Structure 1
Amino acid sequence: MVFTKDIWITPFQLNRTLHIYMPDTIYKEERLPVLYMFDGHNLFFDDVATYGKCWGIKDYLDQNDGRIIVVGIECNHNGDQRLNEFTPYDFYEEEWGYVSQRGRLLIDWMIHELKPYIDTNYPTNPSRDYTYVGGSSMGGTMSLYMAMHHSDMYSKFICVSPHIYPMYKKFREDFDCKILPDTQIYISWGGYEYPTHHIFAMVTDQNLQIIRALLKKEGVDVIPHVFKNDNHSESAWQKELPVWMKECHIVK
């Protein structure tokens, strides 16, 4: 089942919608893992997805007996506010201009308000080992930052097509961070996400440098995937869904 719930985001002083998936049947005393995801409106149903195409997560989990709760946080649809709320660093990009980060405020809210709320009201296993986070594009960027700084709260990070290159140097400068052992990080990118082969090559090199830095952390497992024929879209991410669901052992 999927249902929506309005919640107050204290640092932004705004109401926001959560899109929550749960198995149709919960067994007595069962406690489920939780996957927190960005852009929750794009996860489950085409009719509410921004571009009319969702990831198909509900159908996939229903078909594979996914014993997990997925909490999707809807983005801010006002102007460019999604960019501000979903970036952990200030950055400049020609298409968008200067973008000021508000993502760290959102992350703090997720840790200190959202997670306690979900753990109090739903049948979760609240431990780090059963708490995950993921997203695509800027949501993937946020997930990567959270892997670097909040592995004490989450153990698996799904970074699908993260938008890294305008803030690559800031990521690199931040890599003296402590990441706990038994942390798993999935990172992917597609060959047709970028307008030129040159940019694709540059992004690939940057992603590989980040992956190498992560692999130097003791006990950190990194799962990279390049999908050479895929673009930056929900359709591509739906095709990718079974890969990270299985490789990260979110479904059997």
Structure 2
Amino acid sequence: MTPSRRSLLAGLAALPMASAARADAPRQGRLVEHPAFPSAHAGPRDITVWLPPGYDENPAARWPVLYMHDGQNLFDAGRAPYGAEWGVDEHLARLAATGQVRTPIVVGVGNTPLRLREYLPSGLIRALPGDMRTDLLGIYGGEPLSDGYLRFLVNELKPFVDSAYRTRPGRDDTVIMGSSMGGLISLHALMTRPDVFGAAGCVSTHWPLKIEALENPAALDQWRERLVAAWTGVVRDGLPPPGAHRLYFDRGDETLDTFYAEFQSRIDETVRAAGWGPDRFRSLVFPGAAHNEASWNQRLDVPLTFLLPPLA
């Protein structure tokens, strides 16, 4: 991959003993680190677990789990590559205090240098025409690694989390969420393992994949139409039946998010045509929002309250 392509794509965006990385005030909960977590299916990576307020004080309680990609960006701006964080712990602590969410444990899954290939859904690549597939594999540096990444999440990380922490391990209490390419892999996880994940949050989902095409409007139009056709087919055939899962999409309308509207509207039509109603499916637009952690932080309450509603 050439340096220019790397810069464009990057602009998108035996188990070690756990040790406390940071202990916040009680209302914020606390973070526990599992550095260089090993896997037989993917490269080792840092895992950060946020334990919510009340976890330590109530040993009888069990908690849902929210798995989030790009774990470096979730809790601490000092660790985030771009110097901005989602503020997941602050948002959830506040929402929990006011009863607006079913408070989860959060598992921040750190990314690696193979992030783009791990988050590139294999199902889409298989559905593409041959010339588009070859083009994308050249841009991304090889075949998707999403199947191995998902096996790591489901077969290795989740069993560890469920054994080490007081979780509610069932499907309806297991949520997955990410932004940009992390939105794509979250959707892929819901479609591939609907028995494991009960909800997926896909924030500023990076549907176009090939950003070089943005330099040529005619090429972009052709690429978009062919890619939208592939995406809608994958989503139509892969979604679980409506009624038991939750699916959330959103986008802004600045920076990279300006290129998502056509993709997102067609995907939304596909999901609704499959019978998903507003109680289980939501797709929102945030005017003025850009493709960055600061924008995702500002609107984080919205997906959290939809994906983790309090029990009736």
TM-score bucket (shorter structure): 0.7 to 0.9
From 232, 242, 246, the equivalent of 1:172 is 232
| Deviation of the 1:105 alpha carbon | 1.1
- What amino acid does structure 2 have at the position aligned with 1:177? G
Whichever residue aligns with residue 173 of structure 1, its letter is G
How far residue 55 of structure 1 moved from its aligned partner, in angstroms, is 0.3
More helix by share: 2
Give the number of the structure whose alpha-carbon radius of gyration is greater. 2
Flag as ranges the 4+ runs of structure 1 deviating above 4 A: 90-99
Paired residues, what number? 243
Residue 185, structure 1, aligned to residue 228, structure 2: no
Task: Could you tell me which runs of 5 or more consecutive residues in structure 2 were left unpaired when the two chains were aligned.
Answer: 1-29, 126-132, 210-226
Aligned Cα RMSD in Å?
2.3
CA distance in 1, matches of 2:83, 2:249: 25
Whether 2:32 is the aligned partner of 1:18: answer no
Alpha-carbon distance in structure 2 between the residues aligned to 1:154 and 1:97: 27
CA-CA distance at 1:16 after TM superposition: 1.0
2:117 alignment partner in structure 1 = 84
**Partner of 1:243 in structure 2?**
302
Distance 2:93 2:79 in 1: 19
Please give the secondary structure, in 1, of the residue aligned with 2:49: strand
SS at match of 1:186: strand
Deviations 1:216-251 (A, max 9, x none): 334562100111211100000001101111233356
Q: Comparing both structures, which one devotes a greater share of its residues to strand?
A: 1
Normalised to the residue count of structure 2, the TM-score between the two structures is: 0.72
User: Can you list the C-alpha shifts for 1:30-89, whole angstroms capped at 9, x where unaligned?
Assistant: 11000001001100011001101000111112223362100011000x3xx211111113
Rounded Cα–Cα distance in structure 1 between residues aligned with 2:306 and 2:82: 28
Whole-Å Cα distance in 1 between the matches of residues 83 and 66 of structure 2? 23
Does residue 103 of structure 2 align to residue 70 of structure 1? no
Which is worse superposed, 216-225 or 99-108?
Answer: 216-225
Structure 1 runs not aligned, ≥5 long: none
**TM-score (normalizing by structure 1):** 0.87
Find the counterpart in structure 2 of residue 207 from structure 1: 264
Contact 1:141–1:164 (CA<8 Å) still a contact in 2?
yes
Which secondary structure does the structure 1 equivalent of 2:44 belong to? Answer: strand
Percent identity of the aligned residues?
26
8 Å Cα contact 1:87-1:101 kept in structure 2: yes
